[in-house]
Amino acid sequence: MNQSIAVIIPSFNRKLTLGRALDSVYAQTRPANEVIVVDDGSTDGTREFVAEHYPDTKYIFQDNSGVSAARNVGIENSSAAWIAFLDSDDEWLPQKLELQISAIVDKPSYKIVHTNEIWIRNGVRVNQMNKHQKYGGFIFDRCLPICAISPSSAMLSRELLLEVGGFDESLPACEDYDLWLKVCCRYSVLFIDQPLLKKYGGHDDQLSSKYWGMDRFRVKALQNILAGSSLKAEQAQIARATLIKKCKILCNGAAKRGRSEDQQHYRELIAMHSSDQQEI
């Protein structure tokens, strides 16, 4: 079994936190075989910072194209059998890669393994809500309400990423939600119930702060997977019910904001997928 690991870190103007992320990669008890930073058009001196302090890191610059494109470029420019993602504002605990590879060796049928995590917001550790609890096994239904796996906690086989087509570059946010739908409708997930990631939040440049109505992008991801041929009948049914529920919330929100075109769009989606539900 090929146990080589590539770590892919997308970054955009995050020189101040990128060092912490890279330090946590190089402190792993099981070293990565490749460490790749994909700079998504930074203007804060990221290139010079990586060259000076992390010369063993493979640095790739691209014009600003979004986190999905950055991760996909990292995948394309790596050769390892396993891919681990790390956001440039997050940090791994030292045993993360060692425990993940060990778990995969013990259960080689799995193509994805993720871990539990510690949340830190504005410098203070916070407890996760119940809806953010992490699970293993066949978790497609748990992936429908919100993102059920943190990219920074996940390690996936290259084979799996190629099979599902990587990250959807048309989505400016919730690209991870889209990926987990594509993965978890096909495969069982291996879960290490140990916090091996420090996930930092509360800063202004997070995508959840940048975009209103994140469910807009989740609805698009649900439309995409329902339009494909990956889902079993029961999976399609619960995915469609989730899409309708999210569309109703977005429709109400659009009405309150006076966004008549958006309101009409979500009404049409509700009607279309409600009709599909009744035909099942």
pLDDT, one tens digit per residue, over 96-129 is 999 999 999 999 999 999 999 999 998 899 988 8
Looking at the structure, do residues 109 and 242 belong to the same domain, yes or no?
Answer: no
Looking at the structure, do residues 78 and 123 belong to the same domain, yes or no?
Answer: yes
In which domain, by residue range, is 259 found? 232-279
Q: Is 137 inside a domain boundary?
A: yes
**pTM of the predicted protein model:** 0.92
Looking at the structure, do residues 166 and 253 belong to the same domain, yes or no?
Answer: no
Tell me how crowded residue 121 is: count the other CB atoms within 10 A of its CB.
12
Q: Is 226 inside a domain boundary?
A: no
Q: Is 224 inside a domain boundary?
A: no
Rounded Cα gap, residues 68 and 76, in angstroms: 12
Average pLDDT over residues 152-165: 97
We report the CATH number of the domain holding residue 130 as 3.90.550.10
Tell which residue, 10, 58, 52, has the closest CA to residue 34.
58
pLDDT band, residue 206 (cuts 50/70/90)? low
The predicted structure's pLDDT at residue 157: 98
Looking at the structure, do residues 18 and 74 belong to the same domain, yes or no?
Answer: yes
Q: Is 42 inside a domain boundary?
A: yes
The pLDDT of residue 78 is above 90: yes
Domain count, the chain: 2
Q: Is 192 inside a domain boundary?
A: yes
The DSSP code for 109 is: T
What's the pLDDT tens digit per position in 37-61? 999 999 999 999 999 999 999 999 9
Looking at the structure, do residues 93 and 192 belong to the same domain, yes or no?
Answer: yes
Looking at the structure, do residues 169 and 265 belong to the same domain, yes or no?
Answer: no
pLDDT band, residue 276 (cuts 50/70/90)? low
Q: Which residues contact 152 (CB under 8 A, 6 or more apart)?
A: 85, 86, 87, 90, 92, 117, 197, 199
The pLDDT of residue 210 is above 60: no
Looking at the structure, do residues 135 and 104 belong to the same domain, yes or no?
Answer: yes
Looking at the structure, do residues 26 and 141 belong to the same domain, yes or no?
Answer: yes
Where does the chain show beta strands of DSSP type E?
Answer: 5-11, 34-40, 58-62, 82-85, 91-92, 112-121, 124-126, 155-157, 190-201
Q: Is 216 inside a domain boundary?
A: no
The predicted structure's pLDDT at residue 127: 87
